[in-house]
Amino acid sequence: MLLPAPIQDLIDAFARLPGIGPKTASRLTFYLLRAPENLALDLAAALENLQSGTGFCQRCFNITAAENAECEICADESRDASVLCVVEEPLDVLALERTGGFRGRYHVLGGALSPIEGVGPEDLRIRELLARLREEDVREIILATNPSMEGDATAMYLRQQLQPFDVRITRLARGLPVGGDLEYADQNTLLRALAGRQEMEG
Ligand SMILES: [Zn+2]
């Protein structure tokens, strides 16, 4: 069946989202077609603001409101600037913040090393991390990349890069579901992994 272009276009756009197959994409599109007009307009406005209203924190590369150069965590004077937790994505910051067990600051890499997907060191905010270490008085780096092959490889690589710096390097304790994402770990597991973090051997 040939659908009018505006419908097919939205189905195609939905289908590009993670976890949404062609069937769900069609269902969502036809739902919006029948839904009260303000739902579709609200959705369109929110999507537009998502791009224009947000940006990256210039210090840690967490997500922040576009009008702020730094995110709330970096701007918070009461946070311990001597401990940096290195994570893959802003969602990981959210997961760790939800535990309430970490009072340091973050550095968001923007992904993990993955030769298969063509992600190399220059694609992550590693240069920016090393620059921070030269400028800030950091005493400990917690490598909190995901407990996956890519996350482990990234932690190993960072371990090497951090060698010249006089800084304690730790890795979240095992016990997180292997292959999973930090963002899906429950708060207690994450708290335990944080509390049980161990020196990372070079
Ligand atoms: Zn920040």
19: left (phi over 0), alpha (psi -120 to 50) or beta: left
Task: Please check the confidence at residue 157 and state whether its pLDDT lies above 80.
Answer: yes
Q: How confident is the model at residue 186 (pLDDT cuts 50, 70, 90)?
A: confident
pTM, two decimal places: 0.83
Long-range contacts from 43-50, C-beta under 8 angstroms, 24+ separation: none
Among residues of the chain, what percentage have pLDDT more than 70?
96
Q: Report the range of poorest mean pLDDT among 98-102, 130-134, 137-141.
A: 98-102
Average pLDDT for the chain: 92
Give me the pLDDT at residue 16, please.
96
Cα-to-centroid distance, 76 and ligand 1 (Å): 9
Angle at 73 between CA 71 and CA 76, to 5 degrees: 110
pLDDT confidence of residue 202: 61
Tell me how long the chain is. Answer: 202
Mean pLDDT over 62-77 rounds to 96
Ligand 1 centroid distance, CA of 57 (Å)? 5
Answer whether residue 36 shows pLDDT above 70.
Answer: yes
Task: Tell me which residues have their CB within 5 A of the ion that is ligand 1.
Answer: 57, 59-60, 62, 71, 74
Under the phi-then-psi rule, with left for phi > 0, alpha for psi from -120 to 50, and beta for the rest, what region is 74? alpha
Inter-CA distances, 147 with 66, 113, 122, 173, Å: 31, 13, 21, 10
